Structure 1
Amino acid sequence: MPDADADQRTRPVWIRPVLVIVVVAVCGWLASTFLGAIDWASVGKALSRLTAWQMLVLVAVLLVRQTLNALPLALFIEGLGAARALLNDLVASLMAVVAPPPGDIVVRVAMFRTWGIDASRGLAGATMNMVAFYVNRFAAPVVGLVVLAALGSGTQRVAAAIASGVVALVMAVVISLMVRRERFAARLARASGNVARRVRSSVDPEAWVGAATGFQEHVSAGYRRAFPRSLLALTAMVLSDACILLLALRFVGVSAPQVPAYEVVGIFFLAYPLTLPPMMGLGIYDVVLLGAFMELGGAALEPELVAAITVWRAVTLLGPVLIGGIVTLVWRSRPRGSPGAVS
């Protein structure tokens, strides 16, 4: 809502980078404390095994990942298309890193307008894209549980996976009711607004009701087709993300007998809710993956595992930002008023 956006704009720009550095430092300390001191010389040796063609393969899979990540935008916004959705998502990824909130939303809306897409319709689609991502994030452990139970060594985290799946189910049911039933959307928005007004007196619950019903009007038409397809696309996106990590493991010298592919995929999905913190759980998720893989392959593999996770993070975090930067430069170099130019 607008009040939340105003709050975010008043926060200093430096808070997020500092928070990320603190989180990474704490997780690094935890890793060195509980997993042992890391042999960085051996990590560097493992990284030196990467070749140019292997990096190109990783970038190619990254492009597949980013296309799948942006696909829900195309599904929820009629007339956008997969190519424009990818461009919009890449530029928004860059803005989310270099500009304070809501810089990514502003650039999304600017791009939508140049394509003749109404701002409110574009925002509704972007909101559904975010909702689908969160539902998929909490549903992912169920996929991991099935993979590990069917192909892997099993898992002791059954309760956590099921609980996460329940959260995803509740979110999906609530958003479905909001989209399909205008009265439910209005009641939920009014109740949320009343709760928010207790914390911030300037909140207008009726404005929240208007925003919720407007959102419902924009996404209700194609929801039954778009929502399940978006979840399928995002599940494939997580799988492609896991494949980048799997390829990185193989490229630095971790063999299939040491850490099997199905274990990598299963563990990746099982722990995926840990990507909720900033920068996709940078530090936290990494430590959990490292610990799980060391249980499988042994402590002797630690340098190669650290190297592979480092490569995966570099590709999946820096890759979209760099590509988004290139797209932004090309975009802004186009004459104003030409098709696709951002104003």
Structure 2
Amino acid sequence: MSLVLVADDEPAVLEVLSQVVEDLGHDVLTARDGEEALGLARDRRPRLVVTDHMMPRLSGVELCRRMKQEAQLKDVPVILLSAVLPQGAPEAFAFLHKPFEITDFESVIHKSLAASPEPRADSDVSPLGALGQWVARTLQGPLDTAREQLRRLEHSPAVDRAALATLEVQLQSLESVGRDLRELAWLSSADVSLTRVDTDLGQSLREAVAARGPGIRLEAPEAPVRLPLDVPRIRRVLDALLANAVRHGGATEVSLEPAPAHVTVRVKDSGPGLAPEVVARLFTPFRTDAEGAAGLELYVASELARLHGGTLSVESWPGQGSTFSLRLPRST
């Protein structure tokens, strides 16, 4: 029995592929986009990855390339699936052109697993990291089931749409907790290193804003603003800042301000603002506030900024909204 990660943004295809892998006697992890797949691969270190090519946030080919750049993932075979690529990609171990026969899929799984290295024990994970991994894994199964049931309800004519929207928000919140716990486990390990590539931060920021939907004002230079970044993890920071701003309500303004030595991303909301005592512990893990337990997203975001050699700060006053500033160096 082996752990296999299957990534596809089409729910029906993801279900079929996962079922085939399970029928062969293997455990399955599922991801709905390339960035989620990369995070799960880093956390769980599967023996095999099966991925579609055309996916949001990170394509299948880009996922292959990112895995090849990481010491812990470079030897994990990847089966790339695509209806648009004629011959796959050199970074992938195997390629199947869609549509394909299930028997061909099963055959390439056997071949790929035979070439996969044996998994290594996570002896370098701290107790806190191990706890984060365990909770994230425990949440994954119920979350996948809940997501599938929610998709079925969306096609029911008699469903309460307001209740459905509320369920969607709560499910997204739980999925965010799972991602934060996986990042916490990684941050707590002894081998924490970034995979940096030369990146246009402006493009990453535009994609993050677009993913939040309309209503966010963005000011960014048209010319590329290039920095050495671990793209999925910087995207995690940007997503956290935007989600936090939208959650507080009101208008959200985002700006990208390049300077010779550094670049600053500012996310400003017109919400109720924060009291000084709240600001003082905003980036503390496992904090609580008047509404109960708060998420880990801002703590994780601040740690990811620090690993990039940058900083994450906030200015806020009651009744005047909040401005979060992510400052990153232009060189390492």
Instruction: Name the TM tier (shorter chain).
Output: under 0.3
Q: Which structure has the highest helix share of the two?
A: 1
User: Given the two structures, how large is their TM-score scaled by the length of structure 2?
Assistant: 0.26
Greater RCO, CA 8 A, separation 6+: 1
Q: Which structure has the highest strand share of the two?
A: 2
